[in-house]
Structure 1
Amino acid sequence: MTLRIDHDVRGGVDVLTVHGDVDLYTAPQLRQQLVDLVGQGRHDVVVDLSDVPFIDSSGLGVLVGGLRRARSHGGDLRLAGPNDLTTQVLRATGLTSSFHIHPDVGEALEHPLAG
């Protein structure tokens, strides 16, 4: 499956809507998007996972790296809309305590920077 990432800005927050599996083959594409955003001074990001049926350890590593980059610049990376499987993976790896996870993008945007 191919990966498509839509990018828009809502209220000054960058929203990346990810479509497709995030795995060993597609994770570098998401990593590059996140690196580019932080490099452009964009440190508040919501990653919409509502159209991601599967994420593996490579994908999780990219999200953790994006979170670290954003927070090192005083920003945050929030997750929105993960499905049950993705939520279970985040829970099993202990990452639910690292990320701010919201049921949808709208709720994620209502929460200020975690910093």
Structure 2
Amino acid sequence: MRTTIVRHQSVMVSYDVVNDWTVVEVDGEVDAHTAPMIREAMIKLLGEGHRHFVLDLGFVTFMDSMGLGVIVAITKRIREHEGSLRIASVSSRMLRIFDLSGMRESYEIYPSAAEATQSAPAPGSLAHWPHPSS
């Protein structure tokens, strides 16, 4: 059952649990105004015991550097809790942002949330973040 955790005029964030993954779907703009809301929602989920996340960006219409910054901040928090993070449904435009920022190699990026949740999470998969494991 999908639960909404942020509802704002320019962004909505909801989550569902699939195969031990907490799939967080972001719908709308991720910018200086909305990024802190997304960060706080993710921290709340961590506080509730969620550890393994798929960040579904398929409905993101805009993302600036604050959006990338919130992904890094969330990753650090998840890592502190020995969790996992996969990113899903990234548009080609957004994938270019990940490329230009040098962040693409640091994350497991999947074409869809369904593909990202096919295998169960492995604790500590962020142990070598921000560098990809070999």
Mark the structure with the bigger radius of gyration.
2
Gap regions ≥5 residues in structure 2:
1-8, 127-134
Gap regions ≥5 residues in structure 1:
none
The TM-score, its normalising length taken from structure 2, stands at: 0.80
- Give the whole-Å Cα distance in 2 for the aligned partners of 1:11 and 1:86: 26
- Counterpart of 1:98 (choices 106, 111, 115) is 106
Name the one with the larger strand percent.
2
Give yes or no for the alignment of 1:34 onto 2:42: yes
* Residue deviations 1:50-108 (CA, integer Å, cap 9, x gap): 00121111111111111111122211111100111110001110111111111100111
Name the one with the larger helix percent.
1
Contact 1:18 1:48 in 2 (8 A): yes
Residues paired across the two proteins, number: 115
The TM-score, its normalising length taken from structure 1, stands at: 0.92
Over the aligned positions, Cα root-mean-square deviation in angstroms equals 1.3
Seq. identity, %: 35
Contact 1:50 1:80 in 2 (8 A): yes
Contact 1:82 1:103 in 2 (8 A): yes
Match of 1:64? 72
